[in-house]
Amino acid sequence: MKKITTLNLLRYRCLPKAEKNVFKDVSEWYDTFKPFWAILLFCGVVAPLSGCSGFKIAYNFSYGYIEEKASFYLDQNSSDKEFLLLKIRQFMRWHKTIMLPRYAQFLEEEASIIESNQLTKESAVNSINRARRLLAETVVGAAPYISSVLMRHTSPSKIGYLKRRLGEDIKEKQKKLTAPPLETVGERTEKIIDRIERFTGALDELQAVIVVDYVKDTQFFPPYWIENREKRQLALIQFLASNPEKPETTAFVEHVLLHFNKSAGGDPNKIVARWRSRISRLLYDLLRSLANDQREELLSSLRKYALDMRELSQ
């Protein structure tokens, strides 16, 4: 759909609420789940793809993408760089062989649920939970490779470099929170709609309203995600300064990527459950709203992605 249509919807739906600061501090809620390069692969490469053939291209280029992201945070000599590339190759080999078939099976099963008209609110919740379990499996599998790299960065100078880079990362994300509320809501809504339309084709105005309402309802989460991310990054720095052994580091990486830091305030379990409930509702509402041609486009997209994943895994 055209951007002007979405922006008009935003003004109609959001402006009165914005006057009451309902949209204060809206930004990228999900970005907090991408603090390390292994998770960048899963969340940053798979979701934003422009087409099924684009998935294969992006996946094959993800070696360089991961290396670039890791190099931003790490103070590396030539030996460190070679070691990083080795661990990336090993991780990608594992990810391609083990995880891609699991992702493919997930997409195929989701397509079958949609095609057989078995969609319910409960099935939408189950879909979100299954996706989270896949993410957890990815984290657990990636943790040994991440910890191997981190073990080479426990000297005071390298920890200091990592701390400065992580601080830059947080400042950049906090800066996004200072944008005018309506502008930030509009940008986030456009991104979500663009990603959905890559699977379903163009959304109509009522479907765009579903997305707008989701953005409105999740305005609390972005500052919380960022605050929690900052706390977890601090925990990482403190942990590396303790000269940990490899098994401890692997366990720490798993924990810090899969659990929120309670010192950020609030009950993390309740907050995550609240977010999960709302995104499940978004999924359910959108799928129920699809016209026949959108539904067929979605089924085709899911199955083509699954096929690409199975072919890449061989």
Residue 17 has pLDDT above 70, yes or no: no
- Which pLDDT score, from 0 to 100, does residue 205 have? 94
Residue 52 has pLDDT above 90, yes or no: no
| Total number of domains in the chain | 1
- Please, which pLDDT band fits residue 32 given cuts at 50, 70 and 90? very low
* Range name among 68-72, 167-171, 184-188, 219-223 with the lowest pLDDT average: 219-223
For the chain, the first-to-last Cα distance in angstroms comes to 37
Residue 37 has pLDDT above 80, yes or no: no
The rounded distance, in Å, linking the Cα atoms of 173 and 13 is: 26
Torsion of Cα atoms, 37 then 43 then 47 then 53, to 10°: 40
The rounded distance, in Å, linking the Cα atoms of 134 and 144 is: 17
pTM > 0.75? yes
**Within the chain, how many helices (H) and strands (E) appear?**
13, 0
Answer with the residue of higher pLDDT: 305 or 44.
Answer: 305
Contacts of 95 (CB under 8 A, 6+ apart): 41, 138, 141, 142
Residue 281 has pLDDT above 90, yes or no: yes
Tens digit of each residue's pLDDT (9 = 90 or more) over 147-165: 999 999 999 999 999 999 9
Q: Dihedral sign for Cα 72, 76, 78, 79, please.
A: negative
Tens digit of each residue's pLDDT (9 = 90 or more) over 181-190: 777 788 889 9
Mean pLDDT of 171-186: 79
Mean pLDDT of 101-119: 93
The rounded distance, in Å, linking the Cα atoms of 238 and 236 is: 5
- Which pLDDT score, from 0 to 100, does residue 163 have? 95
Q: Quick count: other Cβ atoms within 10 Å of Cβ 138? A: 23
Yes or no: say if 217 and 22 are a contact pair by the CB < 8 Å rule: no
Burial class (CB in 10 A: 0-12, 13-18, 19+), 279: buried
> Which structural domain, as residue segments, surrounds residue 112?
3-15+24-313
